[in-house]
C-alpha cells in the first residue's frame, strides 16, 4: 500500500481535488468489511469512491433517495437561465462501473446503532443493510417555518432540482416594477456566500431583461453579510445599485406563501411577485437521530468524522459540526464535504486495519460567486488539525483551525474568475462523481 501517497494526498486535500488511483489497502482473506454510505452528494459520492480506490476489497454500498444527484453548485446560474439543468445533474454510472460501488436507490429510514444496520425504503420494499462502518452525508433539512410556508408556492431552491426549476420559472415571470424577496438564514447554513450570490445574479438578470423598476429585497437574519462582505457590499451598492435593497437583522416572524408575504424584525413585505424563502437549516433527518449541537448539526471527531456515541457511525458534509475555534468557521460547502470525505475514507481504512487515524490532516474549500453573467468573486479557506481556542484564547481542545482565508478584493472580481469557476466546478464534479 502506498501510505505515503495517500498521506500526501490528504495533506493536499485543501487544494483543488484531483483524481488519484492508489493501490488498495485492506486485503482481507475473510469476508470483506462492509461500509454503507447514506447520501450520494458531494460528501457521500466522494467517500464511497475513495474507500474503493484506497481500501481495496471493502464492500461499499452507496444509498441515495434519487437516481441522480442535482448539484447546488452552479444552480444559481440555472435559476437565471445561464446554464441548463443538465449541467448540474450528476449520475452514478462511473461510481458503479469504475469503482465497483453498489449504488442503491432508496431512502434511509432508521439506524439500529447497537445492531449495526440501517433500514432503507426502496421501490421494491424495505431492505436492512448490515455495516461495519456507516457514513451519513445527507446534507441539510429545514427548521420549521413560522406561519404558513408552502415550498411548492414560494420555493427555497436550497436543495437543487425541482425547486431550482420552480424559482427559475417564477423569476422569468417578473415584469417591470415587480419585487423579488429573498431571505438569508441564520448561520450556520449551507454555502455562506450562496444567498448573496443569488441576490446578485437575480439583480443582473432583471437588468439584462430590461425589467425597469424591478427590485431584489434581501432580508438577512444575520447582523451583516456573513461571507465576502467587501465583494458583496460592492455588488449590492455599486454593481447593482438601485436594484438590490439589503436589510440585516431581519429575523423571520411569519411567512404566508398563499399571498407571498413575509414579516421580519427589520422589514415586512406583502404580495411580492416572488418570495424565495430560504429557511434556517439543520442536519438532514437521518443524521438527526445522532446527538446534535445547539444549531442542529452532529458534532464529530475531525480525525475520523465518527460520532461520540458511535465511533463507527461517521457524519460528513453539511450535516456535521467540526470542532473549531469559531464554530461557524468551517464552511458547509461541497468542496469541504469532498475534503472531509477523503479524511473519513482514510480513517475508516486505518481503523479496519487496526491502525490509528492520521493526525497530519488538512481540509479546505473554495467558492466562486458570480456577480453578473460575466464576472465572479471567490473565497478560499484552508484548515489544519491542531489546538483550537476559546473566547479567552485558552486551548479548549483539538479541532480544525483555519490557517488561511482568501477573499477577492473588489478589483479581483472579473471575467477570469468567472471562467475559473467553471474549471473549478468541473474538477470537483469529476473528483466526486467521475
Whole-number minimum distance, CB 305 to ligand FAD, in Å?
Answer: 11
Rounded CA gap, 336 and 363, in Å? 7
Give whichever of 67 and 266 is closer to ligand FAD, judged by the CB atom: 67
Whole-number minimum distance, CB 257 to ligand FAD, in Å?
Answer: 20
Rounded CA gap, 180 and 274, in Å? 5
Whole-number minimum distance, CB 190 to ligand FAD, in Å?
Answer: 5
Give whichever of 193 and 256 is closer to ligand FAD, judged by the CB atom: 193
Whole-number minimum distance, CB 46 to ligand FAD, in Å?
Answer: 8
- C-alpha of 396 from chain center: 27
Whole-number minimum distance, CB 76 to ligand FAD, in Å?
Answer: 5
Give whichever of 155 and 334 is closer to ligand FAD, judged by the CB atom: 334
Whole-number minimum distance, CB 32 to ligand FAD, in Å?
Answer: 23
Q: 165 burial class (0-12, 13-18, 19+ CB within 10 angstroms)? A: middle
The crossing angle, in degrees rounded to 10, of helices 42-55 and 334-352 is: 30
Give whichever of 200 and 319 is closer to ligand FAD, judged by the CB atom: 319
Asked whether 316 and 341 are in contact (CB, 8 A), the reply is yes
Give whichever of 303 and 320 is closer to ligand FAD, judged by the CB atom: 320
Give whichever of 26 and 101 is closer to ligand FAD, judged by the CB atom: 101
Q: Hunting for cell 487544494 — which residue is that?
A: 15
Give whichever of 263 and 370 is closer to ligand FAD, judged by the CB atom: 370
Binding site for ligand FAD (CB under 6 A): 38-44, 63-66, 69, 72-73, 75-76, 107-108, 137-139, 158, 190-191, 194, 284, 286, 317-319, 332-335, 337, 365, 367-368
- C-alpha of 24 from chain center: 29
Whole-number minimum distance, CB 9 to ligand FAD, in Å?
Answer: 19
Give whichever of 157 and 243 is closer to ligand FAD, judged by the CB atom: 157
Tell me which DSSP letter residue 67 carries: S
Rounded CA gap, 336 and 318, in Å? 9
Rounded CA gap, 140 and 128, in Å? 24
| Beta strand residue intervals within 59-168, DSSP E | 59-64, 69-70, 89-90, 102-105, 107-112, 117-122, 125-130, 133-136, 140-142, 147-148
Whole-number minimum distance, CB 45 to ligand FAD, in Å?
Answer: 8
SS (H, E, C) 379-416: EEEEEEEEEEECCCCCEEEEEEEEEEEEECCHHHCEHH
Residues 6 or more apart whose CB falls under 8 angstroms from that of 213 comprise 176, 177
CA-based Rg of the chain, rounded to a whole angstrom? 22
Residue 317 sits at the vertex; the CA angle it makes with 312 and 322, to the nearest 5 degrees, is 75
Give whichever of 149 and 368 is closer to ligand FAD, judged by the CB atom: 368
Whole-number minimum distance, CB 376 to ligand FAD, in Å?
Answer: 10
Amino acid at each position: 500500500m502506498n501510505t505515503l501517497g495517500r498521506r500526501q494526498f490528504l495533506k493536499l486535500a485543501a487544494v483543488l481535488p484531483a483524481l488519484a488511483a492508489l493501490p488498495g489497502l485492506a486485503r482481507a482473506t475473510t469476508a470483506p468489511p462492509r461500509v454503507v454510505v447514506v447520501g450520494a452528494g458531494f460528501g457521500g459520492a466522494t467517500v464511497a469512491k475513495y474507500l474503493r480506490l484506497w481500501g481495496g476489497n471493502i464492500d461499499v454500498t452507496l444509498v441515495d433517495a434519487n437516481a441522480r444527484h442535482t448539484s447546488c453548485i452552479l444552480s444559481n446560474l440555472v435559476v437565471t437561465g445561464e446554464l441548463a439543468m443538465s449541467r448540474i445533474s450528476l449520475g452514478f454510472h462511473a461510481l458503479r462501473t469504475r469503482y465497483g460501488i453498489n449504488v442503491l436507490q432508496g431512502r434511509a429510514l432508521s439506524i439500529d446503532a447497537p445492531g449495526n444496520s440501517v433500514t432503507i425504503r426502496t421501490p421494491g420494499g424495505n431492505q436492512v443493510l448490515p455495516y461495519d462502518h456507516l457514513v451519513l452525508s445527507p446534507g441539510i433539512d429545514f427548521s420549521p417555518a413560522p406561519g404558513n410556508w408552502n415550498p411548492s408556492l414560494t420555493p427555497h431552491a436550497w436543495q437543487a432540482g425541482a425547486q431550482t426549476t420552480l424559482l427559475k420559472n417564477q423569476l422569468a415571470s417578473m415584469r417591470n416594477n415587480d419585487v423579488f424577496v429573498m431571505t438569508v438564514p441564520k448561520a450556520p447554513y449551507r454555502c455562506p456566500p450562496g444567498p448573496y450570490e443569488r441576490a446578485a445574479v437575480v439583480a443582473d438578470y432583471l437588468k439584462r431583461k430590461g425589467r425597469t423598476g424591478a427590485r431584489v429585497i434581501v432580508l438577512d437574519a444575520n447582523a451583516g453579510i456573513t461571507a465576502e462582505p467587501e465583494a458583496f457590499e460592492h455588488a449590492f451598492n455599486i454593481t447593482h445599485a438601485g436594484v438590490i435593497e439589503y436589510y440585516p437583522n431581519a429575523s423571520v416572524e411569519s411567512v404566508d406563501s398563499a399571498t407571498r408575504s413575509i414579516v421580519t424584525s427589520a422589514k415586512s413585505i406583502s404580495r411580492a411577485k416572488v418570495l424565495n424563502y430560504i429557511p434556517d437549516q439543520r442536519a438532514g433527518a437521518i443524521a438527526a437521530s445522532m446527538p446534535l449541537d445547539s444549531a442542529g448539526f452532529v458534532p464529530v471527531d475531525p480525525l475520523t468524522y465518527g460520532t461520540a456515541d458511535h465511533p463507527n457511525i461517521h457524519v460528513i458534509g453539511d450535516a456535521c459540526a467540526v470542532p473549531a475555534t469559531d464554530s461557524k468557521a468551517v464552511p458547509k460547502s461541497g468542496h469541504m464535504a469532498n475534503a472531509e470525505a477523503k479524511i473519513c475514507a482514510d480513517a475508516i481504512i486505518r481503523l479496519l486495519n487496526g491502525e490509528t487515524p492520521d493526525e497530519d490532516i488538512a481540509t479546505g474549500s473554495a467558492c466562486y460567486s458570480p456577480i453578473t453573467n460575466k464576472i465572479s468573486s471567490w473565497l478560499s479557506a484552508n484548515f489544519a488539525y491542531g489546538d483550537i481556542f476559546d473566547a479567552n484564547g485558552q486551548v479548549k481542545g483539538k479541532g480544525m483551525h483555519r490557517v488561511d482565508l482568501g477573499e477577492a478584493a473588489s478589483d479581483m472580481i472579473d471575467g477570469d474568475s468567472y471562467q475559473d469557476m467553471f474549471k473549478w466546478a468541473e474538477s470537483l464534479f469529476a473528483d466526486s462523481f467521475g
